[in-house]
Chains A and B, each alone.
Chain A
Amino acid sequence: MESADNAFITAFHLIVSMDPVLTGIVLLSLQVSLSAVLIATLIGLPLGAAVALWRFPGRGLLITLLNAFMGLPPVVAGLMVYLMLSRAGPLGQFGLLFTPTAMVIAQCLLVLPIIAALTRQVVEDLWKEYAEQLKSLGASRARAIPTLLWDGRISLVTTVLAGFGRASAEVGAVLIVGGNIDGVTRVMTTAIALETSRGDLPLALGLGLVLMLMVAAVNGAAFLLGESARRQAG
């Protein structure tokens, strides 16, 4: 249990000392994961809602795919994005490999199915309740989407947080497409993996505690936001 004690002390020191390297890593982690979640949310919410509201050929297949991709292994997502962004791949000309942008793309791929699939479920349930009323009030299906997303916001915040949890916790994808370059693409999870492989377990665990604090802080902020929304809207 010695290393666990050390880990708490290490984590404490890391936070108190505001180590600039660690600060940079934390900020990059937040930047990459929040960007990925934001983009996935902007695509996933309307996509999930559209799948919930419209019936079209292949819809069942799409839903199955979205649900299945919720469990996409990060390493596989990383490999797919690597092959796309590699110089020998279709998007190679943009030179995005081993940059934070590549990490955002890979995490987006991991998060999008979660947000889209859970949004579909939330919106479909709401639609059962709302369909007649909204139609009566003169809303088209397309116009109903923002209304339903807004009314489902409390559940959807949880959905987005689930996406953020996945993004900030994964290491496989960012390691492959980011390369864990010191000061450029090193984020919390890849730093933890690195320190583990260097055998510095207290530091690795300390970084892990800092990561958990970071995720908890984001969740806490979202919780407060949700509570104020709940109070406003009942």
Chain B
Amino acid sequence: MIRHGRRFALGLVLLALSSGTVAADRHIILASTTSTEQSGLFGHIIPRFRDSTGIDVRVVAVGTGQAFAIARRGDADALLVHDRRGEEAFLADGYGLERRDVMYNDFIIIGPGEDPAKVSDADTAAEAMRRIAGAQAPFASRGDDSGTHRAERRIWESAGITPSGSWYRELGSGMGPTLNTAAGMDAYVLADRGTWAGFGNRQNLTVLFEDDEALSNVYGSLLINPERHPHVKHDLAEAWHRWLVSGAGQEAIASFTRGGEPLFVPVVTR
């Protein structure tokens, strides 16, 4: 009994020690947004990048605000996010060397099929939001300082509304949990098209408003300044950064579809 116990314990120790060395070497940590990860895009393009370069990309999917924080602390080798203002601030503070537009898709306004605020009749995104506020229809906001949340606040601003009241619910959650909550309480919600396309628990929710310049959602890749964080795998990260905007990378992004429809549009075709 005791001897068996010892062998078991020894095995566990070896297991514990080995855990640090699982799959090593040529990889980078990419801090990106939950919207891109959850759409399934990375599962499509990273294998292609790996096949041509031998570099693996490990995606840490968090809100855009947290992605910037991780990169500023030097914990990521590369960044792919969707908040132009935040990206420019990142560059201005000297954390990034270069920013490139990679791809875009759009935000959509989603709500209950009955559409009590008549959002689908609106001509602009701002008007759609005004209708929601006017009807005091429940609206689920990310409330997490993510790229989508920042976009939502910009649209409210352009509509001249400071949303408040019991109909406006700040959830402080990622896109998926916010959609889950919205589905549960028949609320309106601003979502990115990628997450929506991959979202399975729609219940009564449907797309009510789309196609407006204000809803454009541009993703940018940032090359991190190696002078700020010397340990960052600059060369590998640069290979990724260049590949994304190369012909091969753009083609890989364009060929990612869901239900027959592309979810992200590469910038070169813009």
Contact = CB atoms under 8 A, between A and B. Distances in A.
On whether A and B touch (CB less than 8 Å), the answer reads: yes
Contacts, number: 97
A100 B16 CA distance: 9
A181 B22 contact: no
Contacts of B42: 182
A95 B231 contact: yes
Interface stretch (B58-66, B100-108, B157-165): B58-66
A87 interface: yes
B258 interface: no
Given A198-B176, A199-B202, A88 B13 contact: no
B53 interface: no
Given A35-B12, A38-B12, A87-B75, A197 B180 contact: yes
Q: What is the interface residue range for chain A against chain B?
A: 35 or more
A184 B74 contact: no
A89 B75 CA distance: 10
Interface stretch (B79-87, B193-201, B242-250): B193-201
Interface in B1-52: 1, 9, 12-13, 15-16, 19-20, 22-23, 29, 34, 38, 42-43
Given A34-B15, A200-B200, A184 B23 contact: yes
Contact of B74 (A34, A92, A201): A92
A100 B20 contact: yes
A75 B46 CA distance: 29
Interface in A33-91: 34-35, 38-39, 86-89
Given A95-B231, A181-B60, A199 B201 contact: yes
Contacts of B58: 98, 179, 181-182, 184
B229 interface: yes
Contact of B177 (A88, A196, A200, A229): A196
B73 interface: yes
Interface string A173-191: 0000001111110000000
A179 B23 CA distance: 16
Nearest to B4: A225
A86 B19 contact: no
B59 A181 contact: yes
Contacts of B199: 198-199
Contacts of B38: 194, 197-198
A200 to B, nearest CB: 4
A182 B38 CA distance: 11
A199 B198 CA distance: 8
A129 B9 CA distance: 29
B19 A196 contact: no
Interface string A1-40: 0000000000000000000000000000001101100110
B155 interface: no
B177 A197 contact: yes
Contacts of A196: 176-177, 180
A74 B263 CA distance: 35
A128 B74 CA distance: 53
Contact of B60 (A96, A98, A104): A98
A199 B200 contact: yes
Contact of B19 (A92, A100, A201): A100
B61 A180 contact: yes
B175 interface: yes
Interface of B: 1, 9, 12-13, 15-16, 19-20, 22-23, 29, 34, 38, 42-43, 58-62, 73-75, 174-177, 179-180, 183, 195, 198-202, 229, 231
22 contacts: A35-B15, A35-B16, A38-B12, A38-B13, A87-B74, A87-B75, A89-B73, A97-B75, A100-B19, A104-B19, A180-B61, A181-B60, A196-B177, A197-B34, A198-B198, A198-B199, A198-B200, A199-B199, A199-B201, A200-B201, A201-B200, A229-B1
- Top 9 A-B pairs ranked by shortest CB distance? A197-B176, A199-B201, A87-B74, A179-B60, A35-B16, A101-B20, A199-B199, A199-B200, A100-B19
Given A38-B12, A179-B29, A199-B180, 13 more contacts: A35-B12, A86-B75, A98-B29, A98-B75, A99-B20, A100-B22, A101-B19, A181-B59, A182-B42, A182-B43, A184-B22, A197-B38, A232-B1
